Amino acid sequence: MMTETYQDLPLELFEPAQVDEKEKEHIAQPAMSALQDGWIRMRKNKGSVVSLVILIIIVLLAIFGPILSSYDYAKTNYTVTFQAPTREHIFGTDQFGRDQFARIWYGTRISLLIAFFAACIDIFIGVTYGAVSALAGGRVDAVMQRIIEILVGIPSLIIIILLMMVMPAGITSIIIALAITGWVNMARLVRAQILKLKEQEFVLAARILGTSPRNIILKHLIPNTVGVIVINAMFTIPSAIFTEAFLSFIGIGLSEPKASLGVLINNGYQVLHNFPYLLIFPAIVIILIMVCFSILGDGLRDALDPRMRK
């Protein structure tokens, strides 16, 4: 028994569709950028949304917490030393009678500030280096990649510690130390992405039209690597916060009377057995920051690059 095909049917059964000429080129939905489309997908990830909300709350507390507190983060009051958390001092006081609530949020502000500037420098150097290396190719790319391999072969933490021992302790020194080695991973990721893109038709068309290499990088290649840049930055910030906390904890980062999460954790560790709250509260803040940034980075990776979904 043969199956009847549409070619065997009489033409009278078919009617041409009536389409308005004005509707042929009509776009049903407004055009969206890659970031807008990624934001719509990320909102479906509850973990990323919750992490984003927590990070916003932490940032707001870091900005306004010391202002809202009636105590100065550096002002001492020896009449209330080592006071447990009360209504007057929500997070208690330290060995100098300083309010821990003000100090924790001021320290969070400093840690986030260091991480933010270190991440911005990493993005600037890493994106520029990786884009130039990938677009130049040949010997230039080979030499630039050998430099990266040398830097990768040396543990970054050793370089940072050596630099901190040479430079005076301070926020600027920590940012410089973090930025010197932090851009390498960004450069490698951007280079790999641009190597895929530079042979695409839109890049070849730009070259044929006489577009300069600088404009090709700025207007065509880098905008198409925004997803990789944003995702890597989300993991760079918690890494910088942890490194700053580690440097301050071992005594070569920030020091008293300045406050950062590392300084506060170091102070709490010294009196952990008798006054554990001095360690618990700053530890909770730094754990929340690192976990939320990691979850948010995973959500952004899935949203901006759906091919990486499992």
pTM for this predicted structure: 0.78
- Return the SS3 of 52: helix
Measure the CA–CA gap between 59 and 43, rounded to whole angstroms. 20
Measure the CA–CA gap between 267 and 265, rounded to whole angstroms. 5
Measure the CA–CA gap between 7 and 20, rounded to whole angstroms. 27
Do residues 58 and 288 make contact, with C-beta atoms less than 8 angstroms apart?
yes
Measure the CA–CA gap between 223 and 206, rounded to whole angstroms. 14
Q: Which stretches of the chain are DSSP H helices?
A: 34-42, 46-68, 100-136, 138-153, 156-166, 171-197, 201-208, 213-216, 226-249, 261-270, 277-304
| pLDDT tens per residue, range 32-47 | 665 666 677 777 888 8
Measure the CA–CA gap between 58 and 63, rounded to whole angstroms. 9
Do residues 240 and 285 make contact, with C-beta atoms less than 8 angstroms apart?
no
pLDDT of residue 193: 86
Percent of the chain whose predicted confidence (pLDDT) is above 90: 7
Percent of the chain whose predicted confidence (pLDDT) is above 70: 86
Domains present along the chain, CATH in parentheses: 50-64+95-308 (1.10.3720.10)
Do residues 116 and 237 make contact, with C-beta atoms less than 8 angstroms apart?
yes
pLDDT of residue 310: 46
| Stated length of the chain | 310
Residue 192 has a CB neighbour count (10 Å cut-off) of 13
| pLDDT tens per residue, range 189-200 | 888 888 888 778
Furthest-apart CA atoms within the chain: distance in Å: 101
DSSP 12: G
Question: What would the mean pLDDT of 285-303 be, rounded to a whole number?
Answer: 86
Task: Of 4-13, 21-30, 227-236, give the lowest mean pLDDT range.
Answer: 21-30
* Residue 93 bridge partners (DSSP): 99
For residue 99, report the phi and psi dihedrals to the nearest 5 degrees: -70, 125
Which pLDDT band holds residue 217 (cuts at 50, 70, 90)? confident
Question: What would the mean pLDDT of 61-84 be, rounded to a whole number?
Answer: 83
- Return the SS3 of 15: coil
Amino acid sitting at position 273:
H
The per-residue DSSP string of 192-253 comes to: HHHHHHTTSHHHHHHHHTT--HHHHIIIIIGGGGHHHHHHHHHHHHHHHHHHHHHHHHTTSS
| pLDDT tens per residue, range 137-153 | 888 888 988 888 888 88
| pLDDT tens per residue, range 159-170 | 888 888 888 777
